[in-house]
Structure 1
Amino acid sequence: MQKTDPEGALPDRLFARVSYGGTAFAALAALVPFLFAEGAISLIAPSISGGLGTGKDAVSLASYLGTGAYAFGALMGGDLVRRFPQRSLFLAVQALSTLGWAILSASHGVWLFALAQILVGFAGGALLVIALPPLLQKFPAGKIPTSAFLVNFGLFGAVAAGPLIGGVVAMAEGAGWRWFFALFSVTGSIALLAAARHLPGGPPKEPDRSVDWTAIGLTLAATLLPFTAIGLIPYQGLLSPAVLLLLVTGLGCFCAFVVNQYVAREPLAPIDEALNTFSLMGLIVATIGGGVFVTCVSLLTTLRKGQEGGVLELGLSFWPQLLGVVVAAGLFAAVIRTRMLLPFVLSGLAAILAGPLLLTFGGLTDDGLFALSIFVIGYGAGATVSPGLLFSAVSMPVKLLAGVIAMIELSRAIGNFLAAPILIDASRIAHASASLEMPGAQLALTVLLAITSAGVLAALLLYVTGRRGLVRAEFEPWIANGKPAFDSPRLFARLRK
């Protein structure tokens, strides 16, 4: 009699070659496309608007709705992966993503384009949470450094490469953007085949878990409302009552979600368990690192689009950023199983402060200093976001991994992708300018530096008061027995009696 797959759905012969390489490819092919498109969209928006017969602002609004769907999808992925078989869920959501990219490439109206953006955004966020856990916990601990490099490069290498590829696609004009999105649909189809063949299976951990409709409703409002508000800024302005109402209501719903999850008996996001030194420090580090990266890229792209040179030259000018991410990803893989992991993260915190500082003192006008600045920012993002996520995730039991990733990505997406357009428009208003110019960019960078400094100080305060020196992650018991890889101290342990 033929054996069945652990998920009890399909025969073993279809899944006889579970492999690390196939799983890694499927995970990266699932994660990269949406983040790639996020980094490129501002440069290819004029081509898209021409192809759809609409304005650039409508394309921007559709893109922000997709980003909101990404944040919502991250939380839903953390919920669904506990209640449904992981591989079956991956295949279903990846098929949804593949369909979404196909619709995007064939869209001939802004409404269909917006619907497809929401589809690929939701699938992208959910796939991040569904695809990463098998890569980290289903294979021997010796694979962790390779996984660290791939995840780090996949997450931020894609965003960093976005402007480069966006410049090339924009130069193609015409239907270039359609081929760009169609390529992601083809990649998704290949990822489906790889996942069906190589992704590890297993039953769901909590198949009888009840649906937390309150948390889902609050998350939907916390993502839909503020991202809609950001998309409406070109139409109504940042200070319009409608935009402010949507922003405040959405952020209020996010705060209500955090409180709800803290007191919930079966939370989607493990807020209570995350209140230890390394988990909270990791969340702060990942959020501020991603925030600096996304804000600087958006600000520089907006500013330099109005300067001399074509869109291809603009896109190619961001190549040092990708190099910085690659360097950080390589170092992350080298130190992840050593006591140098924490100093590496601290170097990332220093870099995300130094990058905007270099831009403020000459990097906006001097090409050489600009290249150095964005290299440092790329390195800083690579040394903070994925390492911060790791710090949070492995400081808690492995059973909470999906929930931790969902919690961090939801928080990071809301904070990171809202900050940039708000800062840019507020700086433009402060200088009474119709577009972002040099004085406004300087102001935005100054505010960004102030916020970043506060975040860095908070992370350092947590570490100093945590009563713990350099630590080494113990991945073997984390994978085998589900125990935390870090012995994380209680919050402010040094100050407790």
Structure 2
Amino acid sequence: MRQGPLAGRYPAVAAMVILALIPYLALSAALDPLVPIITEQLHMSTQLMSLSSGLGNAAYAVGTVLAVQFAQHLPQRRMLVAYAVVLVVGSVLAASAQNAGMFIGGHVLQGLATSMLLIAAAPPLTIGFPKDKLRNTAVIMNMCVFGAVALGPFVGGAQAESQAWRPLFWVIAAIALMALVMAALTFEDAPPADRDAPRDLRAIGLAAVGCGAAFIGASQLTTHGFGDAAVTVPMFGGLALIVALVVYQFRARRPLLTVRPVLTSAIPVAGVGVALFAAAASVAATALTANVLLQTYSPFHVGLLYLPELGGAIVMAVVFGIVITRRAMHYLPLVGMVLLAAGIVVFRFALPANQPLVMLASALTGLALGATVAPALFVAGFSLQSNSLQRVFAIIELFRAVAAFMVAPILAHFAITVSTDLTEGTVDALWIGFGLAVGGTIFGVAIYALSGARPQRPDLDEFLDGDDPAWYSPPLLARVRGLPSRRTANARVTTEATPAHDEPAAPVLLAYDGSELAAYAITRAAIQLGTPRDALVVCVWQPVDVGFTPTDKTHFDADRATDVRRAAERTAAHGASLASEAGFSARSVAVEAAPTWKGIVAAADGHDASLIVLGPHRRDGLLGHLQGSVAAAVLAHSTTPVLIIPQREGVPQREEVSR
């Protein structure tokens, strides 16, 4: 396997992620004060400049979907390098633009490449290293996305002070080139996620046309009224296509995006909702107040007034890194929404030009940004298995981009048209932003309360091993629908019925998940224990996250419990055949349980097993050779003796699949 000289080194991989994400995200927040300069030098109208921003944001949203599709069929790390190349090309094209076409094309490539880099690089940084690095990853992700955005107004104002724009764009291009170099140095070849996955051109088409139309419509608000067909037709038509994408992916047998598990489980729904409300309200508040302040102060002065936002983002990024391993992680987005509402109120009283209040409001907004979107994203991701993290990030970033980048121009248009005085109109628009912040707070609390969700300390060992989510998330609105809101240790066991009087006494329980390591454990157990002996082969399963590696090529819908159960039964039967070949008198059982260890313990108790045999999963070279958390949990909770078969050299690790 080909590797770069810095492959597997956390500092180098983290630096690559930072350099890849900062350029476009910082630039998008720095553009406003540069618009008059760029339009004059490139002979662009303000409307065309607005269209450029809209198309760049649309490309960012679409890139999340494209990155997931490419990851299924193409070598993932090679594609990451390719995305970095696209970012460099786009940055150079924008910086050297001689006309509107070059500038818009470069900006679109920047947006597209940035979101693809985020989806390709962020999940490996999160789950590809030991859990003691997760705190650092949380800080890095927060700073990359929201620290860069918070820094944007100052950078843009400083550049506008010199009446130039190209130096900033060339700096962005240089950072992009450094990201490409680091992507090459940290290269570690990785296979596609699932070559058998369908090529979902319909999903890509809906995302591309929907996002493109919606953002084009919103960008028309610069010169058109909200009721004009040039605005309403593309904007609402595009939003309708995005809704159609969500419905299509929700109902698809083998979806590209993890829409169903995200939208049917309580904690992910709460996390996504809070992230959308926070993104929409915060971006709008900053953009609205900056427009008013520019009537009194220079762009550089306004940028200085917004520097406390960067400080707040840094402080809260550190706090997020501290609480990410604690139950308090659930409360952080709620705190952030309260801070955001307070910041918007202070902004309202700071207008038109109260500098101390502007700086206080900016600091509150920065704290809110660091406490809401990124923590909410991880809260949602921790509710599913780690092998779903890439697609969870993709769907959340798609939603966040639509919310953040569409609400701001709509509220800006409202502020200009609702009153002849910009300050009065902005105050009215800020109250709408305040309503969004309060609404997001109520939404998150209500989802938890009505679903019976409880703040839990994340089990990062199970999450990073890929065996189970970091915590249990009940079904959406479980209490209202009369569903159980808490997972108990009593797993439901399904198998072909066997009369009680024919049940063999004290069988050996062989845990089997379809992996080569589990098969090796069965073979070694036969040698260690001697045969013939009665054996019960157990395959633990759960809807959506599956929890095992199917041993046949039959495709199934991971969202349908019946399909997953049948696949688990086939996998268990395959394990039983392996056990029979090894000399056991074996039967197979499929067990529905989460987390996995509970199903193993429940099956051992229910069948009076004399011994549990496990082949513990061990992490790869990046994570060190450690026993899997399932084996540790079984040892901690079972009263049945446990035999752990260590991995032999040359036996492949378990490869999770997404069906």
Report the TM-score, using the length of structure 2 for normalisation. Answer: 0.71
Could you tell me which residue of structure 2 aligns to residue 253 of structure 1?
241
Q: Does 1:60 align with 2:45?
A: no
State how far apart, in whole Å, the 2-side matches of 1:48 and 1:485 are: 48
Q: Which of these residues, 198, 203, 210, is aligned with residue 215 of structure 1?
A: 203
Partner of 2:143, secondary structure, is: helix
Correspondence for 1:293: 282
2:325 is matched with which residue?
Answer: 337
Gaps of 5+ in 1: 6-11
Cα deviation, 1:137-195, whole Å, max 9, x if unaligned, reads 11111100000001101110000000000011111223xx2121112222222222212
Q: Give 1:347's match in structure 2, choosing from 310, 330, 335.
A: 335
2:79 equivalent in structure 1? 89
The residue type equivalent to 2:254 in the other structure is E
Alignment length (residue pairs) = 481
Matched, 1:451 2:441: no
Query: Which amino acid in 1 is paired with 2:440?
Result: G
The equivalences for 1:219-298 within 5 A come to: 219-274=207-262, 275-298=264-287
Shift of 1:363: 5.3
Matching of residue 180 in structure 1 with residue 187 in structure 2 = no
Separation in 1 of the partners of 2:260 and 2:208? 22
Q: Any conservation in 1 of the 2:334–2:441 contact (CA below 8 Å)?
A: no
The structure-2 alpha-carbon separation of the partners of 1:268 and 1:364, relative to structure 1 and needing over 3 Å to count, comes to farther
SS in 2 for 1:368: helix
Pick the structure with more strand per residue.
2
- 2:7 and 2:431 mapped to 1: Cα distance? 53
Q: Which residue of 2 aligns with 1:492?
A: 477
- Give 1:62 shift: 0.8
What is the percentage of aligned positions where both structures have the same residue? 28
Q: Structure 1: how far apart are the matches of 2:395 and 2:424? A: 36
Residues 409-433 of structure 1 show CA distances to partners (whole Å, capped at 9, x for unaligned) of: 11111111100111121232222x3
Tell me, in whole angstroms, the C-alpha distance in 2 between the residues paired with 1:346 and 1:415. 19
List alignment gaps of at least 5 residues for structure 2.
484-659
- SS class of match (2:258): coil
The change in CA–CA distance for 1:484 and 1:103 in structure 2 (over 3 A counts) is same
Q: 1:335 to 1:199 in 2, by over 3 A?
A: farther
Counterpart selection for 2:423 from 427, 431, 438 = 438
For 1:140, the equivalent position in structure 2 comes to 130
Distance in 2 of aligned mates of 1:46 and 1:365 = 22
Matched residue, 1:8 = none
Q: Distance in 2 between matches of 1:88 and 1:486?
A: 33
Whichever residue aligns with residue 290 of structure 1, its letter is: A
Q: Equivalent residue of 1:281, what SS?
A: helix
Q: Does the CA-based 8 Å contact 1:171-1:312 persist in structure 2?
A: yes
* 8 Å contact kept, 2:313–2:367: yes
Range that drifts further, 199-208 or 143-152 = 199-208
1:362 Cα deviation from its structure 2 partner: 4.2
How big is the shift at 1:16?
A: 6.1
Q: Is 2:278–2:440's contact at 8 Å kept on the other side of the alignment?
A: no
Residue 364 of structure 1, CA deviation: 4.7
CA distance in 1, matches of 2:371, 2:187: 28
* 8 Å contact from structure 1 (residues 138, 200) kept in 2: no
Cα distance in 2 for residues equivalent to 1:199 and 1:490:
39
Task: Give the conservation status (yes or no) of the 8 Å contact 2:333–2:373.
Answer: no
Aligned pair partner of 1:151 in 141, 155, 165:
141
Q: How far apart are residue 201 of structure 1 and its match?
A: 3.4
1:318 aligns with 2:303: no
Find 1:29's aligned residue among 15, 19, 44: 19
Alpha-carbon distance in structure 1 between the residues aligned to 2:301 and 2:6: 48
State whether residues 334 and 444 of structure 2, in contact with CA within 8 Å, keep that contact through their aligned partners in structure 1: no
The 2-side partners of 1:207 and 1:79 are apart by 10
Residue-by-residue CA offset, 1:55-91 (whole Å, 9 max, x unaligned): 3332222111111111111121122122222210100
Question: d(CA) in 1 for partners of 2:201 and 2:258?
Answer: 16
Shift of 1:317: 0.9
1:19-51 CA-to-partner distances (Å, cap 9, x unmatched) read 111111111111111100011000111221222
Preserved CA contact (<8 Å) 1:52 1:108? yes
**More displaced, 409-418 or 453-462?**
453-462
> For residues 42-121 of structure 1, what are the structure 2 equivalents within 5 Å?
42-121=32-111
Q: Is the 8 A contact 2:320 2:329 kept in 1?
A: yes
CA distance in 2, matches of 1:245, 1:305: 32
1:353, distance to aligned residue in structure 2 (A): 1.6
Return the offset for 1:263. 0.1
**In structure 1, what is the Cα distance between the partners aligned to 2:36 and 2:384?**
45
SS in structure 1 of the partner of residue 327 of structure 2: coil
Contact 1:78 1:405 in 2 (8 A): no
In the superposition, relative to structure 1, how do residues 348 and 34 fare at CA in structure 2: closer, same or farther (>3 Å)?
same
Q: Displacement, 1:368? A: 1.5
Amino acid at match of 1:28: I
State the match for 1:124 in structure 2: 114
The CA distance in 1 between the partners of 2:167 and 2:373, in whole Å, is 31
Residue type of the partner of 2:396? I
Q: 2:634 is matched with which residue?
A: none
Distance 2:198 2:154 in 1: 45
Between 79-88 and 355-364, the greater mean CA deviation after superposition: 355-364
Q: Which residue identity does 2:326 align to in structure 1?
A: T
- Measured on the aligned residues, the alpha-carbon RMSD in Å equals 1.6
Query: What is the one-letter code of the residue matched to 2:363?
Result: F
1:9 match: none
Distance 1:475 1:120, change over 3 A: same
The counterpart of 1:406, out of the listed 390, 394, 397, is 394
Deviations 1:191-224 (A, max 9, x none): 2221222244321111232211111111112210
CA distance in 2, matches of 1:153, 1:364: 30
For residue 186 of structure 2, the aligned residue among 187, 195, 198 is 198
Does the 8 Å CA contact 1:53/1:109 hold for their aligned counterparts? yes
SS of residue matched to 1:354: helix
Alpha-carbon separation, structure 1, partners of 2:320 and 2:406 = 28
Distance between the aligned counterparts of 1:203 and 1:34, measured in 2? 28
Matched residues in 2 for 1:381 and 1:18: separation? 30
Whole-angstrom CA distance in 1 between matches of 2:290 and 2:347: 13
Could you tell which deviates more after superposition, 191-200 or 376-385? 191-200
Please tell me whether the aligned partners of residues 321 and 377 of structure 1 are also in contact (alpha carbons under 8 angstroms): yes
Deviates more, 1:422-431 or 1:401-410: 422-431
Indicate whether 1:462 and 2:450 are aligned.
Answer: no
What residue identity is the alignment partner of 2:285? Answer: C
Change (3 A) 1:473 1:113: same
Separation in 2 of the partners of 1:482 and 1:120? 36
Deviation at 1:296, TM superposition (A): 1.0
Per the alignment, in what secondary structure is the counterpart of residue 206 of structure 1?
A: coil
